[in-house]
Structure formats: structure tokens, C-alpha cells
Amino acid sequence: MKHTLQADRISATIKAEGAELCSLKDGEGLELLWQAGPAWPRHAPNLFPIVGRLKNDQLRDRGKTFPMTQHGFARDCEFTWSERGPKSCTLVLADDAKTRLQFPYAFRLAVTYQVEDAHVDVGFEISNTGDVTLPASLGAHPAFNWPLLPGLAKEAYSIHFSREEPEPIRRLKDGLLRDKPEPTPVQGKLLPLSEQLFADDAVILDRPASRSIRYAADRGPAINMDWEGFQQLGIWSKPQGAPFICLEPWRGFASPANFDGEFLDKPGIMKLAPAETKILKYRIGIG
């Protein structure tokens, strides 16, 4: 089931599977979100309870091992609608017998979408409904058309950061975080985009100074994004001509290649005490 939200200069469609944003159009009806073509079958999956991969796709908890594939299971789960209105909606996923086969923790994850003027706000509320510490990661993974304006060259686009980004970046090997950081490709506040940038998989800013970015060319629509509560930023596309780019605020990241410990001790993890709730959010604005 899908639900469409409408504001003056934006419309957003959300589906119950994965609580996933599957359409984002400007006031003239131009589709800005990747439409899950053959190059990649998703639009904007929500990543929970992990971001990236775990070593051997296994989660270790208190002496037991559980299967956990890349980016977790939430993106493939059917969420329940708790509210559906003309400008906002909320979907909820809670643990059950099926999730506990992969993730032995009690949780409640609510995802809220709200549109206004020319932006959509996406809010995540993660709650520990159990009686032990809840370790988890959470990430957004929206894919935007690249180019946004048909006919423009992909190299016409850049990502503009709100602050200078001199810190090294991280890269992946076989889905796991490489041991050593690498020099950043960001030039001050500017990251020129090209397919070659992703020949080595995602660009991961694990310590970004910025809390907002702008994805744009010198003409046509632009995407503005800002976030709260997220601590990392992933930027990804497939290098063999895929016409999309993913701009991904994360709270967490793939396991380091040399990490083989308990999930509770995994670098980058959130830890929620019993009855604790954390709120993370991001905004997509059309410029």
C-alpha cells in the first residue's frame, strides 16, 4: 500500500514495505527520486538495525550468532500505518518472532514523513522496549536521479557542503571498512561528481563537519539536505553508468574489516537503555 503527501511545491509517495519513500516530485511534476530501475532495485531504503555489512554477515550477541545481511532487515519488512494524512504519515515496525531470529532485541521503530512548501521531513524514533541495552544503527539511503535535469551531463553536478571537509574519508573492501583512512576528494566545501569517484565503492565521511549539503548543477533543480542526530554521511553510486546518486545520513557504518566481536561492542553503534528513545531526522528540500 502507498500513500502520497502533497504540499505547494512538492509531493512525496511512501510505501508500507520498508516505510520507503518511492517518489519525490517538484511542483511541476518532475520526478527527482530514482525509480528503482535495473541498475539498483530500490528508491530510498531505511537501514536498520545495521548500516553496511557485518563480518561474515553475522551478528554476535552474548555467545550466540545470528544471520544479518547488509543494511539489516527493516527495508524488507512491512510497516504498519499508524497515521495517514494529507501532509504527514507515520509507519511503525516492532520486534516479533521473525525479527528475533536475526536480532535478539526488543524495539519499536517509527518513521514519520511530513511535507511543507518545497521540502519533506523524515523523522525516525527508535525506542528500546526491552529490559536490556539495545544496540543498533540507523541510516537513510535516498537515491536521486543523476542528472536531475534530463540532458545535463553527470559531471555538471557537484555536492556543496556547508563547511569545509578536510578530514580523511573511509572506503570499503568487500563491504567492510578498510583499516586506513584515505585523503578526502572534497575540495574545501565542494565535491565534484563523476562516475570514477565511485569506482572504489562509497565515499564515507565518518567525521563530517557539515550538517547540510546541496546537490546541484549550475541550472535545473537542486536537492538540499540537512540532518540531526546522524553522525556520518555516505555518498554512493554504481560506477558503470547508473543514473542515480545516493546521499545517506547514517548513525553507524559497516564493521571494520578487523572487527570480529560482539555487536554491542561494534564501532559506531548506538546504545539505548531500557525505555530510552532516540530521535534522528533529515530534511530533503527542492531548490
What would the pLDDT profile of 82-116 be if each residue is shown by its tens digit? 999 999 999 999 999 999 999 999 999 999 999 99
What percentage of the chain exceeds 90 in pLDDT?
Answer: 99
- The x, y and z cell numbers of residue 219, run together, are 541550472
Work out the pLDDT band at 240, boundaries 50, 70, 90. Answer: confident
pLDDT of residue 241: 83
Task: Report the run of H or E that residue 224 belongs to, with start and end.
Answer: strand 223-228
- Go through 127-151 and write b for each residue having 16 or more CB atoms within 10 A of its CB, e for each that does not: bbeeeeebbbbbbbbbbbbbbbbee
Domain 2-286 has CATH 2.70.98.10: yes
Q: Position 65: which residue type? A: T
pTM of the complete model: 0.97
Q: Check if the beta carbon of residue 143 is closer than 8 Å to that of residue 244.
A: yes
Angle at 27 between CA 18 and CA 140, to 5 degrees: 25
